[in-house]
Amino acid sequence: MRASYGLNVEQVQKLVMTPELRQAITVLQLPALELSLYIEQQLQENPFLELRDEENDHPLADEPVAAGSQEQKREYDLDWEEYFHDSSDLGFVRREEEKNQQGFPYENIASQSPTLAEHLIFQLHLVTSDEETRSIGEYLIGNIDGQGYLRVSLEEAAARLGADLAKVEETLKLIHSFDPAGVGARSLQECLLIQVEQLGIEDELLRKIIQDHLEDLARGKLGRMSQQLGVSPREIQRVADLIKTLEPKPGRKYSGSDGVRHVVPDIVLEKVGNDYVIIINDAVLPRLSINSTYRTVLRQENDLETKSFVESKLNAAAWLIRSIEQRRLTLYKVAGCLVELQRDFLDRGIKYLKPLNLKKVAEMVGLHESTVSRATANKYIQTPQGIFEMKYFFSSGLAGDNGKKTSAESIKKMLGELVAGENPKEPLNDEKIAEYFRQQGIRISRRTIAKYRSELGIPPIRQRIRY
């Protein structure tokens, strides 16, 4: 069979991702704080964008147009101007001007928290002036991890510093007296014993359990420990309660202290009477407008290459403003749908959260599922029940005897309340809990109960029993 060449004409449907479409998708899926940073970046890259004057309510201010410029407008067909004049600019809300704004006092500015190493070195220099002790102490502190444990052996430290082993041990003992209690320990047992010593607790049984029986205690084998130690289970329970008051990771309150994540809700639901008012929280977003100076360049410039460049930047600026407005409208539609579908949850709490999927919301608001997914990704909504990630409302469910489904989050809430109200001397096992839900008309297996219990951090029955 001979190969040959030919020309064929055929129709093919395919989606072309234009730069404008990519930008619209990016703007839609960004939460408020990240969108604010994205807008700041666009302000630096596009000279046509500028921060809007609050006295001007429109992103594209009206300007007198010369008669000769009408032909240029028809030549380039700049529909952005007509779009914004026809719309009511629903994407932006005018800020109230702040009068008599005063400077922010320094007393209200939080200082940077010291790290664990800085906190320990400060104490080291405070308690000793011996240069060798300080040198050894700084080396040991440098090898303490974020949880407060020493991650180098004393022999290695002595060899690396060329110091006497006894001197290194003496310095480590000094660090053990520092705040937080238990810092510099080489094991969990040593950490807990240091805290017991600093608290001045004289309890031989407590020390014995910490040294030799922590693993059995963690597994809830109180009966076995009772037999081995020759004491009652109630005494083991007393010691276990005391150990729970100690800190197994003394350095964690200093680790990641500057990485506290503040959640800024993108949507706020306020209940007014019997209705919910939807507020799109875009107060952190800069207000954008088109720079009138550069628009004049388009009308006066005769060079086609320059006009093409100016037109592309002008359309990019107008498209960004349009994308931000469309994001606001999409969030409003999705939030309105959630209010309609999850009204019982908003009124009565988590136990009344209904199963919901993206397809149902997409059909109600007339959007594609992927658009709804992007609109709810990484965004939070403030409700009378608290602040939740928007994905929280899309929960799977389990079928009941009456044909209705109950959401997984609702079942978890009921599970937590059931365990909280159980008799601590006779806690419920997973099979009894599953039987309770079956009596409520919810078909659920024991394995699913164990899974939900683990996700809620509820220990098994052996660890919940009280003597």
How high is the pLDDT of residue 104? Answer: 47
* Residue 446 sits in the same domain as residue 343: yes
Q: Are 146 and 159 in contact (CB under 8 A)?
A: no
* Residue 70 sits in the same domain as residue 142: no
How high is the pLDDT of residue 300? Answer: 67
Task: Please check whether residue 265 lies inside any domain of the structure.
Answer: no
Can you give 373-424 as a three-state secondary structure string? Answer: HHHHCCCEEEECCEEEEHHHHCCCEEEECCCCEEEHHHHHHHHHHHHHCCCC
- Amino acid code (one letter) for 191: C
The reply to whether omega before 180 is within 30° of 0 (cis) is yes
- Specify the pTM: 0.64
How high is the pLDDT of residue 461? Answer: 86
β-strand pairing of 267-272 with 380-383: parallel
Q: CA nearest 114: which of 125, 105, 104, 123?
A: 123
Compute how many other C-beta atoms are within 10 angstroms of the C-beta atom of residue 209: 23
* Residue 123 sits in the same domain as residue 67: no
Residues 6+ away with beta carbon under 8 Å from 400: 406, 441, 442, 443
Task: Please check whether residue 98 lies inside any domain of the structure.
Answer: no
Its domain, for residue 164, covers 116-243
Task: Please check whether residue 437 lies inside any domain of the structure.
Answer: yes
* Residue 342 sits in the same domain as residue 447: yes
* Residue 342 sits in the same domain as residue 372: yes
* Residue 312 sits in the same domain as residue 339: no
* Residue 129 sits in the same domain as residue 236: yes
User: What is residue 172's three-state secondary structure?
Assistant: helix
Q: For residue 168, what is the domain's CATH number?
A: 1.10.10.1330
Distance CA(89)–CA(99), nearest Å, equals: 25
**Interhelix angle 446-455/408-420, nearest 10 degrees:** 80
How high is the pLDDT of residue 196? Answer: 93
Mean pLDDT per block of 10 residues along the chain (467 residues) reads 73 71 85 88 86 56 42 43 42 43 50 83 92 93 92 93 92 93 93 93 91 87 87 89 92 66 84 91 83 69 73 85 91 93 90 88 90 90 91 80 77 90 88 88 88 89 83
Task: Please check whether residue 262 lies inside any domain of the structure.
Answer: no
* Residue 374 sits in the same domain as residue 312: no
Give the count of domains, the chain.
3
